[in-house]
Amino acid sequence: MTLIEKVLAAHTDRERVSPGEFVNVRVDVILANDITAPISIREFRRLGLSKVAEPDKIVMVADHYVPNKDINSAEQAKVMRDFCREQGIPHYDVGQMGIEHVLLPEQGLVVPGDVIIGADSHTCTYGAVGAFATGMGSTDIAAAMATGDIWMKVPPTIKLVYHGELGEWVGGKDLILYTIGQIGVDGALYAALEFTGEAIDTLPMDGRFTMSNMAIEAGGKAGIFHVDEKTLEYVKSRARRPYTVYEPDDDAEYARTIEYDVSSLEPQVALPHLPSNAQPVSEVGDIEIDQAVIGSCTNGRLSDLRTAARVLEGRKVHPRIRCIVIPGTQQVYLDALKEGLIETFIRAGAVVSTPTCGPCLGGYMGILAEGERCVSTTNRNFVGRMGSPKSEVYLAGPAVAAASAVTGRISSPTEIIS
């Protein structure tokens, strides 16, 4: 069995599972947020149920419109919080403020070998710690809250092998944008992506979270990494419960194996209006921007802010540009503050927000007007994703976003740092 199949089999009453089979799977973590939780709660009530099966396995995080931007968003968050108090769910608003997919690993609520489902498509982020994690609809989440398990089809696995050594300024965001550019937004439709290779071995955990996060942008059901010493070092100081590390069998069968040599890979930029429109930054051309966003569940971790601060240190954001920096959690914010990164951002002319999904989904804190362009470290650049349907979003890593904020056009950091 592949790594994904090993994890799933361990959560069934079967010795093995195979792609295409439908199985009942026990769930370790059930996640919802301030947009999706109210729908799940409504469906839970509609089923005539009064008590969730396992309160300790449910996590609810208000992050999309928090701090609440208006009355409707405040009501959404209140529905979620009231339900958690009623049901005795201890894990809500964990960390008090933060983006769910940055918070849960940070708080040790997801661990290797878990099966995690969430009413948010980027739940696949947790594959970085060797877990099976996937997004599901709010109705499925309601059923899982009631029963503690899910009914699903076992996905096939595509093995991605990255050879070579990554160059300066190239990280997880560049690897996943390049991959999506190669296989397309439906290249892994309902498949699990297994990330391997020597370039992956050297990739820090934050970069792995970024790659798993965007597996869904290739149509993937999940994106998973093998557990190595980096993973264990990250998990051991955070885990709130025991965990199991799984490895694929030597004779595991993969739907496909794709190999890349990424030694000469440049920082990547995905042009509108698909994440698959990825190009090396040197080939993007002279594209002026109006806004730069550094943050989100994709690139709002401490190493992302360090990279951005390294580019912005001693420089100024272009007077025509709005540069918005959004730490992924309060802990990331505090760590960045202690390291002097927040001061670097403010002295450069950027603004720093409380943790929120905000502009990523066109919620608030950076909505685009008609004709405006934004370079963003978020995960999607669909039409109207960040505001007006006549605006444009260019996806990139924090180094390119920060450099572009300085020059006023999409730029490589090598243009301003020799």
The total number of structural domains that make up the chain? 2
Same domain, residue pair 187 and 278: no
Q: From 260, 288, 310, give the residue that closes a domain.
A: 260
Rounded to 5 degrees, what are φ and ψ at 394?
-115, 120
| 225 & 314 share domain | no
pLDDT at 40: 96
Q: What is the pLDDT of residues 23-67, one digit of tens each?
A: 999 999 999 999 999 999 999 999 999 999 999 999 999 999 988
Task: Band the pLDDT of 73: cuts 50, 70, 90.
Answer: very high
Residue 200 falls within a domain, yes or no? yes
Residue 94 has pLDDT above 90, yes or no: no
**Do 209 and 223 form a contact (C-beta atoms < 8 A)?**
no
The model's pTM is 0.94
Flag whether 89 is in a domain: yes
Is 177 in the same domain as 41? yes
- Residue 283 is part of which domain span? 269-415
Q: What is the mean pLDDT of the chain?
A: 95
Which CATH number belongs to the domain containing residue 223 in this structure?
Answer: 3.30.499.10
Res. 86: pLDDT tops 90: yes
**What percent of the chain has a predicted confidence (pLDDT) above 70?**
100
Q: Are both 213 and 276 inside the same structural domain?
A: no
- 74 and 101 share one domain: yes
Q: Give the span between the Cα atoms of 405 and 316, in whole angstroms.
A: 8
In a domain, 284, yes or no: yes
pLDDT in tens, 339-359: 999 999 999 999 999 999 999
Same domain (yes/no): 211, 277: no
